[in-house]
Structure 1
Amino acid sequence: RSGIAYHEKTLGQLFCDTSAKEIVAMLLKGVAEAGGQVQLNTTVQSVTKIEGGYAIQLSCPHGPRAVTARNLVVACGGKPIPKMGATDFALRLAQQFGLPVTETYAGLVPFTFSGAQHEAFKSISGVAAPARLQTNGTAFDEAVLFTHRGLSGPAALQVSSYWSPGDVLTLGLLPEEELRRAVREAKETEGRKSPLTIFTRLLPARLVPVVLNDLALPERIADLTAAQLDGLTARLTQWQLTPAGTEGYRTAEVMVGGVDTAALSSKTMMAKTQPGLYFIGECVDVTGWLGGYNFQWAWSSGWVAGQAIKAGL
């Protein structure tokens, strides 16, 4: 409707042909057409319930200002990337009005490692590979990216929302059938070559020695025993890794947890115990996968609240 040209990428994701600034301009235009105002460099000092609505005390560039409103929509996000201005204001406001807030932690965030594992990953920083990464029964088949601090890439970001401190990650770099077939064929036709040589055809060359260096493999693939093959298979299909933690809110794309959905109307997003008070977007305990789902939730929950207010519900 706004005439913004876009194209589709992997997994159905839509991107602007030129710049995402066009989306910002579209949204600001919509605000203006609806009669709304955007006021920058303004801090909310307090929110008080009054008869028929709410009183908001603001700190503005030209001094303090008080406004009143029949409806108040809290749409200020969560904790991720504080250097951009993110805070827990929405959660504190919810608690002020007696709404429950579930436990929050960083989601869609890279993992960090310590000790020898950290040193190993640091040596292959920048290497990416398609993989299956899983934890707590949830798996994602996407790329992983090794970094100077640990593990990132789409698969790692996705899994992070299901991980808790101390949990193990299982990294599968190759399907077992493909691995065993490659070993069988190499034994038959290239038995004098080393396992490292064989597997650099299947995985990034810099990654192979880091993955296999402690397996005590023979110099020739032909000499690989059944027990060694089992160890190799376990490493390449189910590598067990325990992160030290995550990058935290500093780089997280979303906050897991937030204002408890049980305290909000699913039809209007209004607090069940506070007429005229709405919570939408990331500050609510709704977290989507990577790929636009969190934007969709923010816009959809905002639309629902707007329609409810417009209808006087």
Structure 2
Amino acid sequence: MQVNTLILGAGAAGLHAAAHAGPKTLVIDHAKAPGEKIRISGGGRCNFTNLGTTAANFISQNSHFAKSALARYTQWDFIDLVDRHGIAWHEKTLGQLFCDDTAKDIIAMLRAEMEAAQAQLWLNTSVEEVRHDGDLFHVRLSRDGKVGTVKASALVVATGGKSIPKMGATGLAYQIADQFGLAVTDTRPALVPFTFSDEKFKPLAGTATPARVTTQDGTSFDEALLFTHRGLSGPAVLQASSYWHEGEDVTVAIAPDLDLAPLLKDQRRDQGRKALTTALGVHLPPRLVEYLSAEIDLTGNVGDISDTRIDALCETLAAWSLKPSGTEGYRTAEVTLGGVDTDGLSSKTMEAKAVPGLYFIGEAVDVTGWLGGYNFQWAWSSGYAAGTAIAARLG
């Protein structure tokens, strides 16, 4: 069988690319259903983009690489597509957009766009071998117990990274890149909870608080922090994990937007007989205050503490130094940091510079977004860039 375009991977990037790649496009995936990471994202409602998307929200060895694709297919373009399909959505904090109903609406929309473009989808299909004869790509596939070869003028690798292996994630994209001489940057789990080998936060599991988490390079995120049986999670921690390296400390500021010192001084004047722990428990989660009392001197009544002690306490709460032993790894990581080196790709088309007709898109590439819909926007933008380039090239 011969097609114009063969797309490996029926995730967000692959499905979107298929709608733009032109006639005789085939998408294959080893999963039983397309868009599985879309389905589970955002608590089942899919945080499909972010209103504030810019290249500054992405991590890459080349900080400029994402600019072209993001400019050519913006968050507003995807929102327009969602609106045209009648999918209701709402905005949460920090520009994050979610479906009102279900993430399955996004998958159905992408399937409808594919079908309108007359692209085919084969599921339960795995890649056995990829080769290139100088003109066409020959991809040997195993489908329904049968093995056959599909020839294609363009091959798009949209198989993602290593995150969430239970969803079928593999390193196939990196293997294909290596086969064709493209470099792959170091990869590691990102947007992932921190772990502590001593399970020091187990007594606080389930407790959440606003926090600022700062990594050793000075990058900070102000969002919620969640204590877990194994360590730390929550948006602020997930964001920071993308900038953290093994062996480094992180600094946690508890309730950074709360000007705690004057509040405690007011309580000292008006409620002096209250225990300091009780006074703090008005402003911070009581379980956290109880936990901290084992590490910080919180004895006595609030009426008996000096300005100096209040200021010192607030400084401690604003600079709690912690050293994670690691992360929960690819098992729970939302994305993979790193990937196919952008030096070998065209930022306008996502095509390999040294291998005409070979494209890498989405999470497979060394472009990793922040938490909050940015990685989906990269999937839409990079998929569009490759799809439209292929359509123009093959006519």
SS of equivalent to 1:70: strand
2:355 partner SS: coil
8 Å CA contact retained: 2:183, 2:341: yes
What's the CA shift for 1:126? 0.7
Aligned residues: 310
Q: CA deviation at 1:203?
A: 0.7
Q: Which moved more, 1:123-132 or 1:246-255?
A: 123-132
2-side partners of 1:175 and 1:46: how far apart?
53
Q: Is the 8 A contact 1:176 1:233 kept in 2?
A: no
- Calculate the TM-score normalised by the size of structure 1: 0.95
Note if contact 1:168-1:240 (Cα within 8 Å) is conserved in structure 2.
Answer: yes
What is the CA deviation profile of residues 17-65 of structure 1, one whole-angstrom value per residue up to 9, with x for unaligned ones?
2111111011111112212111111111111011312100111114101
Distance 2:223 2:109 in 1: 32
1: distance between equivalents of 2:161 and 2:258? 43
Identity of aligned residues (%): 55
Checking the alignment, whether the CA contact within 8 Å between 2:249 and 2:322 is kept in structure 1 is: yes
1:162 aligns with 2:228: no
Is 1:126 the counterpart of 2:209 in the alignment? no
Partner of 2:44: none
Partner in structure 2 of residue 94 of structure 1: 177
1:76-128 C-alpha deviation (Å, 9 max, x unpaired): 1000000110000001110111101000000000111122xx23x11111111
Q: CA deviation at 1:176?
A: 8.3
User: In the alignment, does 2:227 pair up with 1:146?
Assistant: yes
Q: Residues 157-196 of structure 1 correspond to what in structure 2 (within 5 A)?
A: 157-175=238-256, 178-196=259-277
Work out the CA distance in 2 between the residues paired with 1:217 and 1:23.
Answer: 51
Gapped regions of structure 2 (runs ≥ 5): 1-83
- The answer on whether the counterparts of 1:217 and 1:224 sit within 8 Å (CA) in structure 2 is no
* 1:75 equivalent in alignment to 2:158: yes
Between 1 and 2, higher relative CO (CA 8 Å, sep ≥ 6) is seen in 2
2:141 aligned residue? 58
Structure 2 residue identity aligned to 1:271: A
User: Displaced runs of 4+ in structure 1, greater than 6 A?
Assistant: none
- Among 262, 270, 288, which residue is 1:207 paired with? 288
**TM-score scaled to structure 2, two decimals?**
0.76
C-alpha distance in 1, partners of 2:302/2:197?
32
Q: RMSD value over aligned CA atoms?
A: 1.5
Matched-pair contact (CA < 8 Å) for 1:73–1:278: yes
**8 Å CA contact 2:140, 2:147 repeated in 1:** yes
Residue 206 of structure 1 aligns to a residue in which SS?
helix
**Is residue 241 of structure 1 aligned with residue 241 of structure 2?**
no
Q: State the secondary structure of the residue aligned to 2:225.
A: strand
SS at match of 2:368: coil
| Aligned-partner residue type, residue 126 of structure 1 | G
Choose the corresponding residue for 1:304, options 377, 382, 385: 385
Deviations along 1:208-266, one digit per CA (max 9) or x if unpaired, are 11123222333122332466435422331111111111010000000000001111000
* 8 Å contact kept, 1:215–1:231: no
